[in-house]
Amino acid sequence: MPEGDTVWRTARVLHEALAGEALIRSDLRVPRLATTDLTGRTVLEVVPRGKHLLTRVGGGLTLHSHLGMDGSWRVHATGERPRGGPHHQIRAVLATADRTAVGYRLPVLDLVRTTDESTLVGHLGPDLLGPDWDAEEAVLRLLSDPGRTVGEALLDQRNLAGVGNVYKSELCFLLRVTPWLPMASVPGPDRLVALAKKLLEANKSRVSRITTADARPDRGLWVYGRADRPCRRCGTPVLVAGQGPEGRERTTYWCPHCQTGPPPPPTG
């Protein structure tokens, strides 16, 4: 699932493949950009901003993409057959003489003036993996709505950018609180922010996330994806429930023994 670390790694791969090279092919397969052609423009850089990717090209333009739940960018040698999914799932193709980047299942694709990037990402909070990281500002934003649950506050990219559903569940476990605990009751919110920074930094260059310090297969995460399986710390079955606004709930995992705080509200 793409989160801040995945986006950071994707940006690095795209930058290494495309930066400094002129595009010999540009194919943007969304209706509003169908007639847009970036051929001949040089790719200047590809940078991440939270869960967003910004591909800056000559002429002062930025191609903005978001991976959503299952989007991805794949890079292969120019001339090779794309292999990231069915052809109909391709949303963008950027090719240089040597390398081609193909975007699959991208839910968001925009082209703006580079000077207008703030209209797309200016609302985001401090980026956990970005040069603008400000731990104190992130804490202040998380606490700005003290009655909000810690799980929802962590997922709000306006507070801090980069945490997704996996890290939300893992951070709450490591802090020993349920995701439904109000932010005002979270012990040491500064520790929560520092831990989020530590985890994303540690995982940004890994393909498989590790929060347990155990790199063996199926041992990397404490609770995420482990519904009804024993808690790695105490053996109690891990529970799962939805969290968030009705119709947009995110699957949340927690250990009812290791984590203290409110359970999920009743449904139905």
H or E stretch including 253? strand 250-254
* DSSP per position, 55-116: EEETTTEEEEEE-TTT-EEEEEETTSPP-SS-GGGEEEEEE-SSEEEEEES-SEEEEEEGGG
Q: List the catalytic residue out of 49, 51, 209, 226.
A: 51
Q: List the catalytic residue out of 25, 148, 233, 250.
A: 250
Please indicate whether residue 250 is annotated as part of the active site.
yes
Q: List the catalytic residue out of 2, 48, 126, 179.
A: 2
Q: How many CB atoms lie within 10 A of CB 116?
A: 14
C-beta separation of 125 from 142 below 8 A: no
Helix (H, G, I), strand (E, B) or coil at 138: helix
Please indicate whether residue 2 is annotated as part of the active site.
yes
The two structure tokens encoding residue 23: 């595009």
Q: How far apart are CA 189 and CA 219, in angstroms?
A: 27
* DSSP per position, 157-180: TTTSBS--HHHHHHHHHHHTB-TT
Please indicate whether residue 204 is annotated as part of the active site.
no
Please indicate whether residue 82 is annotated as part of the active site.
no
By annotation, the residues acting in catalysis are 2-3, 51, 250
